[in-house]
C-alpha cells in the first residue's frame, strides 16, 4: 500500500523538505522538464522536440545509417540552440543540494538530458544516461571528444581517422553507457530519498530507477508540472515548475537546523 500522495503545494513542500532532511543519501532523476525554463524544448507535449520529426528519422542508428545529413542537421540545430541557453534556478538548486547539504558523494544526479546544463550549474556527480550533445563519437575509431558548442559542419569527420563522426547520444535501440547505468542503479538502490524531476517517466530503462528506488525503501518525491506515469509511486507530488519548486525546497532545507538524520537499516 502506498502512503497517500500529498499534492497541495505548501504542506507537500514541507513534507518533501522533511523527507530530504531525514535522508543520508539522495539521488535525483531529471528529464527535459528541468531545462524547460531555460528555453530547451521538451520531447513530448504541445511543442515537443520530436514535433516535425519522427523519432525513427533522427534518433536511431538506422536513421543515421540511411540519412546522416538529416540526423546531423537535427543535432546541429539542437547544439546551436544551446549556445543561447543558461541553467535555471532548478539546476542551481540541485547543484546546491550536492555542494552544501549532501556532500561527500551522498548526492547523485542521474539525468536523461543531453544539454550539459547540470554541470554548467555546478553539479559534479552527474550521470548522463543518454549522452551529451557537446560530445562527438567517431564511427570508425570510436574516439569520444568534447567539442563544446563549436559549429561542426554538415557531416563532420574524425580528426584522427577521417571517418564520419556521430553525436555522442544514446539513440533508441542502443544500450545505455554501462558505467553510468550501473552507478545510477546503485544510487537508486542505496538512497533514502529519490527525487524525480521534469520527466514523463516513460522511457526505459531510465524510468525503471523509480520503482527500483522504491523497492529498496527510498521515499519518492516527484516534481513536475503535471501528473506522470511515476506519480502513483510517489510519496509526495509537487506540481509546478521545477525552476520554482526546487529552490523553494532547498530554501526550506537551508533555513532549518538539520535534525538527526535517520539511516536506512
Ligand atoms: P519528456 O518530454 O517526455 O517529458 C518532460 C516532462 O517534463 C513532462 O512530464 C512535463 O510535464 C515536464 N515539464 C515540462 N516543463 C516543466 C517544468 N518547467 N518543470 C517541471 N516539469 C516540467 O522528456 P523526458 O522525460 O526527459 O531520450 O524524456 C525522456 C527521454 O525521451 C529523453 O531523454 C529522450 C526522449 O526520447 C533520448 O533521446 C534517448
Q: Is the pLDDT of residue 2 over 50?
A: no
The pLDDT value recorded for residue 255 is 74
Query: What percent of the chain has a predicted confidence (pLDDT) above 70?
Result: 91
Domain-wise residue ranges, the chain: 1-40+87-130+176-258, 43-84+132-169
Which residues, 6+ apart, have CB-to-CB distance to 188 below 8 Å?
A: 27, 29, 110, 194, 209, 210, 212, 213, 216, 218
| From 199, 223, 229, mutation site for ligand 1 pocket: most ligand atoms within 8 A of C-beta | 199
Distance (Å) from CA 228 to ligand 1 centroid: 10
The pLDDT value recorded for residue 95 is 98
The band of 3, judged by pLDDT with boundaries at 50, 70 and 90, is very low
Residue nearest to atom 2 of ligand 1 (CA): 43
The band of 47, judged by pLDDT with boundaries at 50, 70 and 90, is low
The band of 256, judged by pLDDT with boundaries at 50, 70 and 90, is low
| From 9, 28, 32, mutation site for ligand 1 pocket: most ligand atoms within 8 A of C-beta | 32
Residues 1-40+87-130+176-258, CATH architecture? 3-Layer(aba) Sandwich (3.40)
Structure confidence by residue, pLDDT tens digits, 152-202: 999 999 999 999 999 999 999 999 999 999 999 999 999 999 999 999 999
Q: Is the pLDDT of residue 8 over 60?
A: yes
Given the CA of residue 223, which atom of ligand 1 is nearest to it?
20
Structure confidence by residue, pLDDT tens digits, 112-152: 999 999 999 999 999 999 999 999 999 999 999 999 999 99
The pLDDT value recorded for residue 15 is 97
Strand positions, DSSP E, 100-143: 107-111, 126-128, 131-138
| From 9, 43, 176, mutation site for ligand 1 pocket: most ligand atoms within 8 A of C-beta | 43
**Averaged pLDDT for residues 233-261:** 86
Distance (Å) from CA 43 to ligand 1 centroid: 6
Distance (Å) from CA 33 to ligand 1 centroid: 5
**Averaged pLDDT for residues 45-69:** 80
Spatial separation of the C-alpha atoms in residues 223 and 191, rounded to whole Å: 17
Which position among 130, 173, 239, 260 bears the catalytic label? 130
Q: Is the pLDDT of residue 257 over 70?
A: no
Active-site residue 2, yes or no?
Answer: no
Spatial separation of the C-alpha atoms in residues 68 and 59, rounded to whole Å: 11
Given the CA of residue 112, which atom of ligand 1 is nearest to it?
33
Distance (Å) from CA 222 to ligand 1 centroid: 13
Residues in contact with ligand 1 by the CB-under-6-Å rule are 31-33, 36-37, 42-45, 48, 59, 112, 130, 170, 198-200, 203, 224-226, 228, 241-243
Which residues, 6+ apart, have CB-to-CB distance to 119 below 8 Å?
A: 126
Distance (Å) from CA 50 to ligand 1 centroid: 11
For domain 43-84+132-169, is the CATH number 3.40.50.1220? no
Distance (Å) from CA 263 to ligand 1 centroid: 32
Query: What percent of the chain has a predicted confidence (pLDDT) above 90?
Result: 86
**Averaged pLDDT for residues 200-222:** 97
Q: 1-40+87-130+176-258 and 43-84+132-169: same fold?
A: no
Spatial separation of the C-alpha atoms in residues 168 and 95, rounded to whole Å: 24
Q: 96-101 long-range contacts, Cβ below 8 Å, gap at least 24?
A: 96/250, 97/20, 97/26, 97/28, 97/250, 97/253, 98/123, 98/124, 98/125, 99/124, 100/254, 101/20, 101/250, 101/253, 101/254
**Averaged pLDDT for residues 33-56:** 79
Given the CA of residue 37, which atom of ligand 1 is nearest to it?
18
The pLDDT value recorded for residue 260 is 46
Spatial separation of the C-alpha atoms in residues 237 and 188, rounded to whole Å: 18
**Averaged pLDDT for residues 207-223:** 98
Residue nearest to atom 25 of ligand 1 (CA): 199
The pLDDT value recorded for residue 263 is 52
The pLDDT value recorded for residue 6 is 55
Amino acid at each position: 500500500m502506498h502512503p497517500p500522495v500529498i499534492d497541495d503545494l505548501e504542506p507537500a513542500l514541507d513534507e518533501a523538505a522533511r523527507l530530504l532532511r531525514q535522508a543520508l543519501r539522495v539521488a535525483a532523476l531529471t528529464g527535459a522538464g528541468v531545462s524547460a525554463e531555460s528555453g530547451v524544448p521538451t520531447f513530448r507535449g504541445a511543442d515537443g522536440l520530436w514535433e516535425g520529426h519522427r523519432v525513427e528519422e533522427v534518433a536511431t542508428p538506422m536513421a543515421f545509417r540511411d540519412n546522416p545529413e538529416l540526423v546531423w542537421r537535427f543535432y546541429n540545430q539542437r547544439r546551436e540552440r544551446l549556445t543561447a541557453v543558461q541553467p535555471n534556478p532548478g539546476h542551481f538548486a540541485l547543484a546546491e543540494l550536492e555542494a552544501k547539504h549532501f556532500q561527500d558523494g551522498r548526492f547523485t544526479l542521474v539525468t536523461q538530458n543531453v544539454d550539459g546544463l547540470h554541470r554548467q550549474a555546478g553539479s559534479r556527480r552527474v550521470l548522463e544516461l543518454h549522452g551529451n550533445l557537446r560530445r562527438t563519437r567517431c564511427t570508425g575509431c570510436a574516439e569520444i571528444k568534447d567539442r563544446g558548442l563549436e559549429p561542426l559542419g554538415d557531416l563532420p569527420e574524425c580528426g584522427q581517422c577521417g571517418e564520419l563522426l556521430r553525436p555522442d547520444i544514446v539513440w533508441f535501440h542502443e544500450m545505455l553507457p554501462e558505467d553510468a547505468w550501473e552507478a545510477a542503479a546503485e544510487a537508486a538502490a542505496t538512497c533514502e530519498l529519490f527525487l524525480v524531476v521534469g520527466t514523463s517517466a516513460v522511457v526505459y530503462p531510465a524510468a525503471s530507477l523509480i520503482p527500483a528506488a522504491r523497492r529498496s525503501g527510498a521515499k519518492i518525491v516527484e516534481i513536475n508540472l503535471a501528473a506522470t506515469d511515476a506519480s502513483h509511486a510517489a510519496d509526495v507530488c509537487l506540481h509546478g515548475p521545477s525552476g520554482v519548486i526546487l529552490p523553494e525546497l532547498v530554501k526550506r532545507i537551508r533555513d532549518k537546523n538539520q535534525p538527526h538524520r535517520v539511516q536506512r537499516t
